[in-house]
Structure 1
């Protein structure tokens, strides 16, 4: 048996194979979402974290590069055995990257993700964020 209008086999999960397929919900009104005060607040919160943290890390990285380029005697100073100031600062770069990533994940989980879920819910979109929100 095929559907008279749409062709193909009837859908096994529908009671009446001759009903038209369900309508898709309309897409979100992205310009309205972008113009909303909730979205502006979300962007403001994100920028307050991301821009200063980015400037801080770039400054820290630039200081490392400038020290290596213009003050090699400082970077090659031995601290303990064969461990130098440059090596310690290089390892500190990795540690600071991990710390910034951890801070951002916590910040996003507490301050960004709940707001995104609210905005998506208000736009009629399933967020799926509630399922993994408390996963640590």
Structure 2
């Protein structure tokens, strides 16, 4: 068996392993719902901007209206999601990924 064939078989073995499947499950269980929630939040902003102009134009403080507040909250939520994912990855994904990496490096090296 050549080195390349050996490397491929190691990666195929890892891909089929329970730990790798668990890593994918943990990633998907966080990323998919959060993506759906964010897209729904963004779509709400777009729909309100297009169809609820009176509501979006309500002045809250001086020239600051509902549309501006929701628009700024889009940025805030984006940064919050990035921070939350970083924490999730550090606690739930990185330890498992490190274990898998060590296994692969041990088999190849």
**TM surpasses 0.5:** yes
**TM-score where L is the length of structure 1:** 0.71
Listed one character per residue, the Cα deviations across residues 85-104 of structure 1 (whole Å, up to 9, x for unaligned) are: 00000000000001000000
Equivalenced residue count is: 102
Structure with the higher fraction of residues in helix conformation: 2
Aligned to 2:97: 116
Q: Take 1:53 and 1:83, find their aligned partners in 2: how far apart are those partners?
A: 29
Runs of at least 4 residues of structure 1 off by over 6 A? none
Stretches of structure 1 that go unaligned for 5 or more consecutive residues are 1-23, 126-136
Return the index of the structure with the highest Cα Rg.
Answer: 1
Q: Larger RCO: Structure 1 or Structure 2 (Cα < 8 Å, ≥ 6 residues apart)?
A: 2
Stretches of structure 2 that go unaligned for 5 or more consecutive residues are none
Residue correspondence of structure 1 range 59-98 to structure 2 within 5 A: 59-98=40-79
RMSD: 1.6
Listed one character per residue, the Cα deviations across residues 94-127 of structure 1 (whole Å, up to 9, x for unaligned) are: 00001000000011111111111100111125xx
